[in-house]
Structure 1
Amino acid sequence: MDLHYWVIFVVTVLGVSLIPGPSTLIAFAHGAANGSGPAMFTAIGNATASTLQAIAASAGLGLAITSSAMLFMVIKYAGAAYLVYVGIQIWRTAAQRVSLSSQGNTLESQPQRLFMSGFTVAISNPKAIAFFTAFFPQFLSPAGNSTVQLAIMVILVALSAFIVALFYSCLGAWVRGLALSRTLMRRINKTTGGLFVASGFGLAISKSS
């Protein structure tokens, strides 16, 4: 595949990833609660999930999942329930003040919990596999080695997911660094939590196709 096609691929993946959603919201929330350093584990978790989804799509598992209504719905509703749970947890932290000197107000300060939270939120969206299944073939060149091309696509997806999640983490950390008032931080946390709950219900009632 020519270089300009790879550029288009990366720009498209970055553009889609930048659209606010559950994965970007959890990165922002963890950045606001813990700072950009610890929230990097959230970005790694997000990138790991995106990598597995891209690999699944490349291996043809995406077709199997999207053609199995029951499996798709199980993943879909499990993901929706988890998003609602995360939203409630963030909402419950709304009364906590976030500042540069705070140590005991983190949502999930341990690296493994930050990683798993970012991973679970990202992996809970089965439509990502369907997207990759439909998206990757558009950039495959018959003249090249398809395995190599798909491997490069998976790597680019992983890097894009990490960069975008890290960007939102840094954005949250920047908000945290402003040492905002308790009232304003409570509103930000409630808004973020509300968006998670809305995303969960939205995923639950959306059509499977």
Structure 2
Amino acid sequence: MSLTIWLAFVLASSVMLMIPGPTIILVITRSITYGKKSVLAIMATSAILFNLFKWLGAVYLIYLGLSMWRQKPTAHTINQTPINNKQSRRVLFHQSLVVTALNPKSIAFFVAFFPQFIQFNSALVPQLFILGATFLLLATLNAVLYAIFAGLFKSRLQHSSVQRWFTRVGGAALVGAGLITVTLKRNA
């Protein structure tokens, strides 16, 4: 893989990751509620798998969105709402993993955009490893930066009116992302 193609991939991935999607909404909301510790990232290859992921993703995003919508603002500051046990951390990690894996933006990126950076006249596995590792690193950095941003503005974000607004907007965005996911079509 040439350096030029890799740099183009880094640039395109960075731009795509900066646009807040369902994962970032979840990261910010969970960062506001539980702090930075809550921040812990599928290529569809067949019509059956694509539709399965599409519907599972849509249902899960809508479920998370409705859960966020109904969430009451906490009366505690962020530092007083710790992640109490390993089970809670596992649940938060699982939510983030599922939202990221079933994120319509990510699916569209990997199905439509990712293949443009593959040189099919070169060894495929090393390219997939390099691009996958690069994307994972960029996605992690992106989520951490959003979590830090939420932490920096926690005094403003922890007011119940702001929390209510954020969870409602975030919940509506996740429901919207779930509905948009249903409309995705697989490229043959």
User: Which residues in structure 2 correspond to 1:129-144 (within 5 Å)?
Assistant: 129=107, 131-141=109-119, 144=122
Structure 2 unpaired stretches of 5+: none
Contact 1:97/1:185, CA 8 A, preserved across alignment: no
The answer to whether residue 9 in structure 2 is matched with residue 31 in structure 1 is no
The answer to whether residue 154 in structure 2 is matched with residue 155 in structure 1 is no
User: Which residues in structure 2 correspond to 1:114-125 (within 5 Å)?
Assistant: 114-125=92-103
Deviation (angstroms), 1:142 = 5.9
Q: Give me the TM-score of the superposition, normalised by structure 2.
A: 0.82
**Residues in 1 aligned to 2:127 and 2:87: alpha-carbon distance in whole angstroms:** 38
State the one-letter code of the partner of 2:126.
Answer: V
Contact 2:32/2:154, CA 8 A, preserved across alignment: yes
Deviation (angstroms), 1:115 = 0.9
CA RMSD in angstroms, aligned pairs only: 2.7
Aligned to 1:40: 39
| Shift in alpha-carbon separation, 1:92–1:9, aligned structure 2, 3 A | same
Q: Give me the TM-score of the superposition, normalised by structure 1.
A: 0.75
User: Which residues in structure 2 correspond to 1:26-175 (within 5 Å)?
Assistant: 26-36=26-36, 38-41=37-40, 46=41, 53=42, 57=43, 62=44, 64-65=45-46, 68=47, 70-97=48-75, 99-103=77-81, 110-125=88-103, 128-129=106-107, 131-141=109-119, 144-175=122-153
Contact 1:33/1:98, CA 8 A, preserved across alignment: no
Aligned to 1:208: 185
**Residues in 2 aligned to 1:177 and 1:14: alpha-carbon distance in whole angstroms:** 28
Aligned to 1:49: none
Identity of aligned residues (%): 26
Deviation (angstroms), 1:147 = 2.3
Q: Deviations along 1:75-104, whole A, 9 cap, x unmatched?
A: 211111111111122122233235244227
Q: Deviations along 1:138-174, whole A, 9 cap, x unmatched?
A: 3334664332222111110111111112222222223
**Residues in 1 aligned to 2:88 and 2:81: alpha-carbon distance in whole angstroms:** 12
